[in-house]
Each structure stands twice: as C-alpha cells, then as structure tokens.
Structure 1
C-alpha cells in the first residue's frame, strides 16, 4: 500500500507532517521545529489532526473520548469521522497556509489513518487510502517525519506525563494494536523513502530535533520565501 496520489503543492509553502504512535513525542518536536522555523524567518502554521479547526475540535471529542457506557465507534464510522476532520482541515488551514507561502507543520495527517484505521482496525487498506485521497483531493506532505518508538516505551512515557488526566480512546488500545500501527508507519516510510524521514524517537528530544533540522534545512532553501534567512 502506498500513500494517496500526489496533487502537487498548490502554493509556495512547504508541508511537513509529523507521524508516529501515541507517546512518540510529536507535540514536543512540533514546538521545537516551529520555534526554529520562525527564527529563520518563515511564517509557520502549527496544526493537528483531529482538531485543527472548530469542526475538528468537535470531532476530536467524539473520536477520542472514552465513553462511560462502554459503547465504541465502529471502525468504519471512525475512519469516516477522521476523513471529515481532515477534509475540513485541508480546506480551512493547510491549503490557505501553503498558498500564503507558509511552512505548515501538522501533528498527524493521512498516514495516521492508514496506520490506525487500516492496520490497527484491520480495515481494507485500499478503501482507507481511497477515502483519504478523496478527503484531501490528493494533497500530500512535502516531507513526512515518522517518530518511531517501541509501543511499550511510548506507553511508559504517557504514564509519566504529569499533564495527562488519563489515556484517550486510541491510546488505551492494546499493545498488539499499537504494534500494528507502528509497523504500518515504518512500512509506508520504506516504500517511499524519498518523501519520508524516520527518526528514533527513543533518543533525547534535542537529538531528534537536531536530525530533523539537518534533514529539513536543505529542502527549505528552494522553498524559502523572500526575506527568509537561509
């Protein structure tokens, strides 16, 4: 299985997606990356899925809340809701940012559906891919960064995070589920290595960020807006 078809970046911006399992450090890496990009003179759009829009925030509550009655979303309903969030996210946040020439950095994008709903929920891979392609009109990142960490290590991190009030519905899935998700992220990256960067997220956050910046800097030179520092 490969990612959705390319429809080309619609503007002068640059699109980065941070992917990986829950507890892989995406939020920290996104913050550090945004600070660095701003220092270099770029407009930076920091966003996430689900929840990068008002519509997405409402959908996030449905998708991630653990219901007291124990009822669960069906895998297909879950996939459709993630696709709806993504369609609005692209239309309202991602595309406008790229057209302005910004660097858009999103915490999760299409590969999360291919990993979580495709591999994790065992939905037909081609159907999840087709749904994702339709929701985004084929828009894919210029660079996808996979923050790879063993699911058991990631679970330990989440447990030590003082800011958490408990695991959400996706985080609370079994170790076997999160292992399938991890394997799918790595498989997607292996099939298209030119568009992916896989980083060992078990390393210190500063080391992970340094390698990310080293990889990204030459890619941004050709996309730098007027007045941005090299």
Structure 2
C-alpha cells in the first residue's frame, strides 16, 4: 500500500473531499480523539460515523474502547462491568486502580503504536471518564487521579475530545430501549440512578469548561447525521491545524 504524507491540509479537508487513489494518509505523529459522555449519549454510533468519514479521506483509523482494546484490558473490563460477578460496587480507590491498569495495557500495546504509525485513534472513553466516575463523583483527590494518569498515560493525552451531552432522563430512555431490542443486560454503570447519571453529565461539562481547547461539547439531542456532520467538521479542522504546526 502506498503511503503519502499530508502536505496540503486545506485541500484534503475541503468538504466532500474523497481520496480517490485509496492511498493512506500518514500523519507525522498520529492524532488521538476520544469520545466521552453519559450512558446512552450515542458515543459508539458517532465513533463509527467519524471512522467512516476519515477512512473515506484516506486515513488509517483505529477504533477502540475503554476499558478494553487489548486482551489484558478486556479481561479487566469483564471484572469491572460484568453483572454476573457478585460485586455490586468497588471501593473507589480499587476501581480507579483497576481502570488505570486496563488503560496502561491499552495505551502501551495499542494506542501508542498506532499513533507512532501515523494513524488516527478513536477511543470510546479515556481519562475523562476516570476523572468523572472515580474522581469527581467518588471524591477521590485530584492529585491521586493525576498520579494514576502520569503512571498509565504520561503524555498520551487526547488531542481532541468530544463530549456528547444529553440530559440523563433522555439518555436512560435510550439505554432502556436498546436493552429491549438487543436483550442487553445493563452493566453496573448503566444501572445507576437518574440523579447519579445527571451528576455525571454535569461533571463532564465541568471538564469541558476547564479544557475548552481540547474538549468540544456536542448537543446529542439532534439527529445522528447532524451530530456526525458537526463532529466531522471539527475533526477535519483540528487535524488540519495540527498538520500545519
């Protein structure tokens, strides 16, 4: 497969551009995009739309998730989320350490190699979920969460983060509808009360306010295509800006 380096981002990111010769576009240092939000906010759907959009332009795209992505991380995911395991809740410190252990394996074995290869990485949840679920809501000290981040990810921070924003009541209605259609058994986090779900939403919005250059809040009440178009436009612009640095 022929690999080409981006030299004219303004051309590549013109709306509707398609890479006709099917060659891969390799970014010098890769590009890392994470998707955050509460349960039922539509992250997985939008990740798939953005992956399709970027691949059409010629980028190599890795789609992954947290906890998970590697064999070791997926094993920890099973322990953390599986409702058949007779643990209703973990002590906050233990939960944060388990998520961080999964992330360390994920970053070392999958994300860093993909970025070094010049790929775009799309990840369903990353450090902001730990900051919200284990940090802000479970009241673990920010310094403790920062130390775990330093150990597990160091400099591997998302270049761009989309926070899909949806009121908890509407988001939970989506979760329940999905469960009926697919016989999906809710995990521990999906079972949380409406009040807890809304608190998570507010915590994500707080992070977005603190880091406006990285985090973009996306109104998830709109149609799938409208949301996908906004995310694609922002991604195109930010990737183009990075390449011109």
Common topology (TM > 0.5): yes
Structure 1 position 133, deviation (Å): 2.5
Bigger Cα displacement from structure 2, 161-170 vs 52-61? 161-170
Distance 1:11 1:93, change over 3 A: farther
Pairs within 5 Å for 1:50-65: 50-65=67-82
Bigger Cα displacement from structure 2, 212-221 vs 117-126? 117-126
Tell whether 2:104 aligns with 1:116: no
CA contact (8 A) 2:79 2:85 kept: no
Provide structure 1 residue ranges, at least 5 long, that are not aligned to the other structure. Answer: 1-9, 225-230
Counterpart in the other structure of 1:103: 120
Counterpart in the other structure of 1:149: 166
CA contact (8 A) 2:88 2:188 kept: no
Determine the C-alpha separation between the residues in 2 that align with 1:163 and 1:67: 18
Structure 1 position 178, deviation (Å): 1.6
Q: Secondary structure at the match of 1:194?
A: coil
Give CA-to-partner distance per residue, 1:17-56, whole Å, 9 cap, x none. 0011111101000100100110000000000001110011
Determine the C-alpha separation between the residues in 1 that align with 2:237 and 2:111: 22
Distance 1:129 1:11, change over 3 A: farther
CA contact (8 A) 2:128 2:204 kept: yes
Counterpart in the other structure of 1:76: 93
TM-score, structure 1 normalization = 0.88
CA contact (8 A) 1:115 1:180 kept: no
Determine the C-alpha separation between the residues in 2 that align with 1:26 and 1:50: 14
Counterpart in the other structure of 1:47: 64
Provide structure 2 residue ranges, at least 5 long, that are not aligned to the other structure. Answer: 1-26
Determine the C-alpha separation between the residues in 2 that align with 1:127 and 1:135: 12
Larger radius of gyration: 2
Tell whether 2:195 aligns with 1:198: no
Q: Secondary structure at the match of 1:144?
A: strand
Pairs within 5 Å for 1:120-199: 120-161=137-178, 162-199=181-218
Counterpart in the other structure of 1:19: 36
Bigger Cα displacement from structure 2, 119-128 vs 141-150? 119-128
Distance 1:155 1:223, change over 3 A: same
Q: Secondary structure at the match of 2:234?
A: helix
Counterpart in the other structure of 2:106: 89
Counterpart in the other structure of 1:3: none
CA contact (8 A) 1:133 1:139 kept: no
Q: Secondary structure at the match of 2:40?
A: coil
TM-score, structure 2 normalization = 0.83
